[in-house]
Amino acid sequence: MILSTHGIVGSQIQSFVGLLDTYPNAAAAYSVRKLRAAYTGSAIRVRRSSDNTETNIGFTALGNLDESALTTFCGSGNGFVTTWYDQSGNGINKTQTTASNQYQIVTSGVVNILGTKPSILVGNKPPMNVTGVTFKSEFFVGKVDTVVVGNYVNFGSGGGLFACGTFSGTVGIGGFDLTNAPFQSELTGRTDYRLRYWNMKTNKLFVSTNGGSIIDLGTFASSLNATEIGGRSLGTAFVLNGSCQEEIFYNSDTTSTESGIKTNQNSYYAIY
């Protein structure tokens, strides 16, 4: 009997291998799937709308989000994410302590889906907070629903990265380090389901989307420290208007692993 590469093969149970097992040393990692074999924590903590109680939701044996536990807990109501747990081992969990600002994962008893996997609807809610993630690169799986002014995916005291920033009518992916604001125009597909990638090296910012080539955007900070993820708490024009399934941060140059990490993400989420 063959169930999967990390399930039961014959009479033997093969060990689970996650993205972070193959590409370790992430600064922080948030996902609707299990990313590391040794990670024993939950994926998310959810508040249900029926009575505002909270519970942790983990993974199935195959490493998927436990949707059954999620829908059982939420019943016919809605479910909101209070905590998105960091699977890197660094304990930098994302939290949102205000109910009206919490991202939604269940709507009227149905798990939100993007592509074929569960998805967390950020909407235009304020960002979730973390103690601080110092990073040089980010891999983001999600979707921008509406092009607004900012669509920041993270922000901190030194600046942040954005998915669909708008400069005098031109929309692009890029970053802002309080001095420089390089970006690459996204003429098409900017509201498609996408894998977005940012990498800071040699004091330059490099970006790409899906399997596309990496583009040098020029001068930029050597790293950033995010204290807000999912936007910038400067108003609804600066937050991510969309959904997210996975965000992985590395505090190192990921040029050599970029292709492999993207392939791993695309194999699971079937983005492009």
Partner 1 sequence: MQFINGYQYTTEQEAINARELCDAYYGIPVAPDDVTQNWVDYQFAELNTPQFWYIVFDESLLPVLGTPSEFEVITPPFPY
241 binds partner 1 (CB under 8 A): no
φ/ψ (deg, to 5) at 83: -145, 135
83 binds partner 1 (CB under 8 A): yes
36 binds partner 1 (CB under 8 A): no
Cβ proximity to partner 1, 131 vs 267, nearer residue: 131
Q: How far is the CB of 2 from partner 1 (least distance, A)?
A: 40
Chosen residue from 36, 47, 117, 262 binding partner 1 by CB under 8 A: 47
Beta bridge partners of 160: 155, 176
Distance, CA of 181 to CA of 257 (rounded, Å): 25
Q: How far is the CB of 152 from partner 1 (least distance, A)?
A: 8
Is 31 in contact with 87 (CB distance < 8 Å)?
Answer: yes
Who's near 68: CB < 8 A, 6+ residues apart? none
Listed residue (83, 77, 58) closest to 68, CA to CA = 58
Q: How far is the CB of 45 from partner 1 (least distance, A)?
A: 6
Tokens matching residue 228? 């807000």
147 binds partner 1 (CB under 8 A): no
- The span of 10-18, 46-54, 114-122, 197-205 binding partner 1 (CB under 8 A) equals 46-54
Q: How far is the CB of 181 from partner 1 (least distance, A)?
A: 5
61 binds partner 1 (CB under 8 A): no
3-state secondary structure of 47: strand
Distance, CA of 152 to CA of 176 (rounded, Å): 10
Give the chain's end-to-end CA distance (angstroms, integer).
Answer: 31
Q: Residues in contact with partner 1, total (CB under 8 A)?
A: 31
Q: How far is the CB of 99 from partner 1 (least distance, A)?
A: 5
97 binds partner 1 (CB under 8 A): yes
Binding to partner 1 (CB under 8 A): which residues in 162-221?
A: 162, 165-167, 176, 181
180, 194, 259 from 183: Cα distances, Å: 10, 17, 21
Residues at the site binding partner 1, with contacts judged by CB under 8 A: 45, 47, 51-54, 82-83, 95-102, 126, 149-150, 159, 162, 165-167, 176, 181, 234-238
